[in-house]
Chains A and B, each alone.
Chain A
Amino acid sequence: MTIDKRFDAERIEDEWQAQERALEQERRGVPGNEGTSRERRYRVLARVLAEPSVAQLPVDFAATVAREARTLDAAQEAREQRFEKRLIVTLWSVLALAVVVVAALYGEQLAALLRPGQASSPSAAPWLFVLLGAIGMSYLWQRVQIRRAR
């Protein structure tokens, strides 16, 4: 059997338009006996499709999900804190190891520098400034962090 495709497309378009008209009429609240019989059937369909589903979410759904999200936040924060602690411990361990290595390699020279009368010598002065500067910067950074946390 052969089908005239143009005729086919026209009929489909005509049906689509009837479906859309019926939906628009139903939304406008057009009385049930108006329109063609085909539109009236589609209007009944539109009415049924506009009904909410019988099953619904529990009334406290939003509050429950928000509580769950807060729990996730807290868990995430705890994970981050654990990671931060481990990182600090690792860095302190590396620093301690570095001190031991430096002491082993340059202990003699450092001890000589720290002997009374040596610290004020011209060769030791720049290192003293660097040390004081580092302590000062570290202190200031700590203050900024505390203020930010407040």
Chain B
Amino acid sequence: MSEDRNLVEAVLARRAGAFERLVREHQGLCWDIVYRMVRHAEDARELSQEVFLKVYRYLDRYRYEASLKTWIGRIAYSVALRHLERKRLSYAEAVDDDDGYDAIGNIGDEFDLEAAFADHQAYQELHAAIDALPPVQRTVLGLYHFDELSIGEIAVVTGLAEGTIKSHLYRARLRLRDTLETSLGVSHDHRQAV
């Protein structure tokens, strides 16, 4: 937090190179959030720039209640969400605990998953399934797996309740596992009817 404070104070004092350093340190997370939400590289670049200009403009309002990383992440998420709203794109789906329940099951151990996954087709299908997830679910998944944010930090970034985040993670992973198995042609041995 003291590193955050030093950097913020340097930017507010308009010290040479300070803002560029802040951008370089946090552009990765900002990009991950915005790009996962909007899934359009050119729009994501423009929105990322908008995010950091907002950060520059409103940095004096940052109160050190959360880490600078999550504060910037929150701005990135809001900017991306507003963009989707402007474009009237659906960004979330209702959380329904029963959905995806059918995919729960055990699979036979005899299947050579690594070898099968080496198949480029399966890899591409999994990526396509990730792309097809609703933006909020895809973003939450990325923040958790790629950016390694905790569920608490994701709650700060997205403004969602921790239970909702867990539900998004659970359902998205279950759905992707199902896609993976379908594309690999794996049969569910002990799937139990619900």
> Which of B64-72, B82-90, B103-111 is found at the contact surface with chain A?
B103-111
Q: Complex Cα distance A22/B52, Å? A: 35
Q: By the criterion CB–CB under 8 Å, are A19 and B173 in contact?
A: yes
Q: By the criterion CB–CB under 8 Å, are A53 and B32 in contact?
A: yes
Q: Complex Cα distance A48/B113, Å? A: 14
List, in ascending order, chain A residues with CB within 8 A of B53's CB: 65, 68-69, 72
Chain A residue total in the interface (Cβ 8 A)? 40
A85 interface residue, CB < 8 Å from B? no
Interface size class of B (residues with CB under 8 A): 35 or more
Known contacts A55-B35, A62-B23, A65-B52: does B146 contact A44 (CB below 8 Å)? no
B19 interface residue, CB < 8 Å from A? yes
Interface string of B75-118 (1 = CB under 8 A from A): 00000000000000000000001000100101111010110010
List, in ascending order, chain A residues with CB within 8 A of B127's CB: 48
Q: By the criterion CB–CB under 8 Å, are B141 and A16 in contact?
A: no
Interface string of A120-132 (1 = CB under 8 A from B): 0000000000000
Q: By the criterion CB–CB under 8 Å, are B14 and A56 in contact?
A: no
Known contacts A42-B173, A65-B23: does B31 contact A57 (CB below 8 Å)? yes
Q: Which of A45, A53, A58 is the most central at the interface, judged by chain B CB atoms within 10 Å of its CB?
A: A45
Interface string of A16-60 (1 = CB under 8 A from B): 100100010000000011001110111011101111110111100
Contact of A55 among B24, B44, B56, B145 (CB under 8 A): B44
Q: By the criterion CB–CB under 8 Å, are A72 and B113 in contact?
A: no
Q: Complex Cα distance A64/B53, Å? A: 11
Report 11 cross-chain contacts, Cβ distance below 8 Å, ordered by A residue.
Answer: A8-B101, A37-B113, A38-B106, A40-B113, A44-B117, A45-B180, A57-B27, A61-B49, A62-B24, A69-B53, A72-B57
